[in-house]
Structure 1
Amino acid sequence: MGLDPGLRRLALGTLLAAYPGPVPPDWAVDLLAEGLAGHTLFGTNVHDPAQLAATTAALREGRADVLIAIDEEGGDVTRLAHATGSPYPGNAALGAIGDVALTRRVYEAIGAELAELGITVDLAPTVDVNTADENPVIGTRSFGADPLRVAAHSAAAVAGLQATGVAACAKHFPGHGATVTDSHHELPTVDVPVDVLRRRDLPPFAAVIAAGAQAVMTAHIRVPALTGAGPATFSREVLVDLLRTEYGFTGAVITDALEMKGASIAAGGVGPAAVRALAAGADLLCIGAKVDAELVEQVAAEIVEALGDGRLDRARVEQAAGRAATLAAWTRAATRVPTGGGTDLGYAAARRAVKIDGVLTDLVRPLVVQLHAASTIAEGRVPWGLGPHLADTEEVRVVAAETDPAALRHLAGDRPIVLVGRRLHQLPGGPELITALAAVHPVTVVEMGWPAQWRPAGVRAFVTTYGASHANGRAAAEALGLAG
């Protein structure tokens, strides 16, 4: 026996699906006509602006008020510019600059581009307070480690995005900044009293709620004082008691991807995770990136089954679907304020973020050495570094732990060395390689990851970009006098 059509449509109204490739398959469009709330676009869906505009138009053929979401944070997490790197610096650079008006203008520029392409929801900004230097998944996606600074920039980012008619989704509630593991791979724990969250992690969420953020995304993190053994995504204490009752949020609660291990393992699969998230108070369920028609139907069937066996109350699911519909209505009715600046604004902002400790002298035709660093799932494999911006400069790429310092010195000869990396203090073999080189050779370091306290001994200069976007790379090359 098939699913009750009315209940299936209700369940679909709470789901954000996805699909592979640059052209929406028939099933992805057909499901929209049958009630699916919308789709999240990833890098695999984006080839160029003309293609993407055609994609969003095709999705609207399924239903005019479809929600079309994307993770476009600027900086290290970009889908629009995944092939080249973002022309905007990310949050860490904007926080380091400290110009709240600039943050708003950058997010207005991002929002204007999204609106032009037909995208209605930006799964940004990241408003986590990055208090753990070793955080593997937030880092440069955060405006900083100070709650008040992060709050001010978060509110500005939301205002900038939403001025363009694109709904902002502030993430990841109740705060992913103090974690030292990645919720894509496991369930991180933040074992602190709720009062610590209120002082440290929650001020930015209060700020974005006051700024009118249309959506907030949940975190797949465990906070024992609130969530017990499970993630915040499955916790009514977090999503209802804290977010809605205490902080007064009335918009849509969107889950982080339910395929992530922090949720799917805790629930026993994506379908059960969807049921638990809805029961806890979530409204829109991001299924994930690897989605097909069969998975969407499985999740919808699990929700319908839960309505029948008592795990879910129909009024709760109707409320969730209603909030998703309200979000879609906002995106259709929103007034778009004309914006200016574009990518030139992004490159100018990245230049302002560069910090130089030491002296940049005698950098005539150096050997540039980029140290390989793995990307997180959130970032994806986006190009980074100084390479695209160098003129008449040799660059090599090496794995730090597999590289002999003597071999690099031999290759450099009498030229200075510029070492470029991300999260260098955490990179296997990185600190040892840099220290060995700096002891006997002129070395300048360019750190394009989160700016930890570590500084290597003996280097001539330590350059911090606060991110690894295309704009950050150009700014660093210019600061070193190496840009073409």
Structure 2
Amino acid sequence: MGRTRAAIASALMLPLAACAVKEPTDALSEGTTAGSSVETEDVDPAAGATAVPAPAPATASRDADLSTAQPAEPDLSLDDLAVDLAEDLSLEEKAGQVIVAAHNGPSPPLSLVVEHHLGGIIVMDPDLSTEQLVALNDAVADAADEAGREWPVSIGVDQEGGLVERAKGDLTRFPTFMSLGAADDPDLTRRAAAGSGAELRGAGFTAVFAPTADVTMGPTDPTIGSRSPGSDPELVAEHATAAGLGYLDAGILPVVKHFPGHGSVPADSHVELPVQDRTLDELEANDLVPFVSAVQAGLPAVMVGHLQLTALNSQLPSSLEPEVVEGMLRDDLGFDGLVVTDALNMAAVADRYGPGQASVEALRAGADVVLMPADPLSARDAIVAAVGDGTLDEDRLDEAVARQIAALLEVADEGSVDALEPGGAADVAREVSAAAVTVVQGPCDGPLVDGGVVPMGDRLAVQRFERAAERAGLPLGAGTTVELLRPGQGPHGAQVSVALETPYLLASTGAATKVALYGDTPGAMDALVAVLTGEAEAPGRLPVEVDGVERQGC
């Protein structure tokens, strides 16, 4: 079973990717100009995007030794202020402050943040327009301010790019995080996260539940997949850390997830409690590597997932297990920042615990924010009752409240990239896809299609491809057949196979030419058309192993 948990503390400080600060460059997308197309389906691609100052990029080396690096020292005056603010709250207010509730619909839940003093909300409705998002977020923030709250309300969103993007409207669509593993340019990763974060901040968000630091184990990983940069722990460490720093550049709180690593379990915690059978040695060498990097870089918040670790001989979900939160994360990795649970309404927890019990147990285990309990008010009442009967120490609750307040105050004051209007990050999103597109079979030079093209596959993807072809002047309706593949759709026997998300589907096609695109955004389709016509090279390389292809990339 490997060494005990207590014995891995010193060994976890591994040599990892450095993320040293450099001077800012002139634009989010180097080599691009204002006026490039906006990454939405409803906005004219010629309408323009705003060039903005770039954040300081991360270094590109994975050979640097950070074994002596320490987490950034906290601002003691800010810490003291947060402690004072927390101590001034009533018990009921403290219990509310550690809860972030799920919210759907355009109507702002003002009573939750004013009357019940919840720490904030996570916006879950992908159908809200930009105007509705801004109005919702502004109303919540204004209500908290008018009620006398002296720190930002937590208004968060799952916005990873690709399949996981809750804030839509006119905001820039980014491809999957795996795109950045395929591009393998940490400076670009940091600029992309800064661009996305700057748009989110412009829309009123204060927190983003990203980046994903899980190392995917391949096609048997049902939950993470293209949400991860790849299957190499050091690659994932480098890009997850760079993304977290990019969000900080934008003045938005990043929450690195899902400790201790969800990419190596063959079950989905949304529907059941996954069992992690890896030994502590195996976790140390793989899943924990990106989180070590994040802690060493001083990233302020970590989400703990719902996994059962057999190496600890525990039956508890990791989000409720003190040996994971206080032991592995705080004691072993030295993390003293904000710990957030994964959503407590997920089946991995909710099938065994009510919202109140789960919230109390998460706080007892060392978490500071309980995310999305199914009934946030009953969770609040349970926390109050637990302090009252001694089940939960009030000092532990005070510590959790102070950590959340400090994190929100500090991040809001440290952004170096201005907030952006919707679509303002289009250039850098387009740059990501252009750097990621990967030809794993077929010619590396010149056109990959003969004359026109006949696209087939997913209807929405075909429509986006057709728009990109029209923008590039590529004839449609005759010529080379091109299939756009999603899981469960195809193959269709085309001459060119394109995997839109994870590249594993390329293993099952008989096409002469195979391309991994890692997204279906307008920018991704533009990058694909440019490669198909020979107007651009395909610089990406597979960040995961795929059977049945000739090479990792050109």
Whether TM-score is above 0.5 comes out as yes
Where in structure 2 are the equivalents of 1:202-213 lying within 5 Å?
202-213=288-299
Relative distance call for 1:69 and 1:452 in structure 2 (3 A) is: same
Residue number among 427, 437, 449 corresponding to 1:344 in the alignment: 427
Offset at 1:257?
Answer: 0.7
User: CA, structure 1 residues 56+371, in 2 after alignment: closer, same or farther (shift >3 Å)?
Assistant: closer
**Aligned pairs (5 A) from 1:248-287:** 248-267=334-353, 269-287=354-372
**1:385 partner SS:** helix
Match of 2:466 in 1: 390
Query: CA 1:474–1:187 in structure 2 vs 1: closer, same or farther (change >3 Å)?
Result: farther
Letter in 2 for 1:446: V
Q: Bigger shift: 84-93 or 114-123?
A: 84-93
Partner of 1:10 in structure 2? 94
The separation in 1 between residues aligned to 2:271 and 2:157, in whole angstroms, is 21
Establish whether residue 37 from structure 1 lines up as the match of residue 119 from structure 2: yes
The 1:474/1:221 distance shift into structure 2, 3 A limit, reads farther
Matches within 5 A, 1:395-474: 416-423=480-487, 427=488, 434=491, 438=493, 442-452=494-504, 455-456=507-508, 458-474=510-526
Q: TM-score, normalised by structure 1?
A: 0.81
Matching residue's letter, 1:23? S
Q: Which runs of 5+ in 1 are unaligned?
A: 373-383, 395-411
Give distance in 2, aligned partners of 1:474 and 1:197: 39
Distance 1:168 1:227, change over 3 A: farther
2:410 matches 1:317: no
- Relative to structure 1, the CA distance from residue 175 to residue 222 in structure 2 (aligned partners, 3 Å threshold; closer, same or farther) is same
Match of 2:133?
52
Could you tell me which residue of structure 2 aligns to residue 380 of structure 1? Answer: none
Question: Following TM superposition, where does structure 1 have runs of at least 4 consecutive aligned residues deviating by more than 6 angstroms?
Answer: none
Change (3 A) 1:223 1:453: farther
Q: Identify which of 319, 327, 346 aligns with 1:233.
A: 319
CA shift digits 1:296-321 (9 cap, x unpaired): 21111122222234432222122112
Residue aligning to 1:125: 211
Tell me by how many angstroms 1:93 deviates: 0.7
> Match of 1:418, as an amino acid?
V
Identity %: 32
Q: TM-score, normalised by structure 2?
A: 0.72
Tell me, in whole angstroms, the C-alpha distance in 1 between the residues paired with 2:465 and 2:211. Answer: 28
Between the aligned partners of 2:177 and 2:522, the Cα distance in structure 1 is: 14
Cross-structure match for 2:143: 62
C-alpha displacement of 1:123:
0.7
* Aligned residue type for 1:134: T
1:367 aligns with 454
1:77 partner letter:
V
Q: Gaps (5+ residues) in structure 2?
A: 1-88, 146-151, 471-475, 536-554
The AA in structure 2 aligned to 1:74 is G
User: Deviations for 1:97-116, whole angstroms, at most 9, x for unmatched residues?
Assistant: 11111111111111211222
Asked if 1 retains the 8 angstrom alpha-carbon contact of 2:226 and 2:502, the reply is yes
Shift of residue 415 of structure 1?
Answer: 5.5
SS of the residue 1:321 aligns to: helix
Judged with a 3 Å threshold, the aligned counterparts in structure 2 of structure 1 residues 482 and 136 are, in CA distance, closer, same or farther, namely farther
Corresponding residue pairs, total: 429
CA 1:452 to 1:306, structure 2 compared with 1: closer, same or farther past 3 Å? Answer: same
For residues 163 and 361 of structure 1, what CA distance do their matches in structure 2 show?
39
Q: How does 1:119-198 map to 2 (within 5 A)?
A: 119-198=205-284
1:43 aligned counterpart, secondary structure: coil
Deviation at 1:391, TM superposition (A): 4.7
- C-alpha displacement at 1:469, in angstroms? 3.8
Please list the CA deviations of residues 438-461 of structure 1 after superposition, one character each: whole Å capped at 9, or x if unmatched: 4xxx53211112223852353121
Q: Residues 414 and 169 (structure 1 numbering): CA distance in 2 closer, same or farther, change over 3 Å? A: closer
2:382 counterpart residue number: 302
| CA displacement 1:405-457 (0-9 Å, x = unmatched) | xxxxxxx998643221224xxx3xx5xx63xx54xxx5321111222385235
Judge conservation of contact 1:151–1:207 (CA < 8 Å) in 2: yes
- Distance in 2, Cα, partners of 1:472 & 1:392: 9
**What SS does structure 1 have at the residue aligned with 2:344?**
coil
Matched, 1:201 2:280: no
Q: Looking at secondary structure, tell me which structure has more helix per residue.
A: 1
Q: Is the 8 A contact 1:22 1:45 kept in 2?
A: no
Q: Is the 8 A contact 2:497 2:509 kept in 1?
A: no
Q: Distance in 2 between matches of 1:337 and 1:422?
A: 35
Q: Which moved more, 1:341-350 or 1:206-215?
A: 341-350
Return closer, same or farther for 1:307/1:354 CA change in 2, 3 Å cut-off: same
Per the TM alignment, residue 62 of structure 1 is displaced from its structure 2 partner at its CA by 2.4
Deviation at 1:470, TM superposition (A): 4.0
Aligned to 2:276, the other structure's residue is in SS state coil
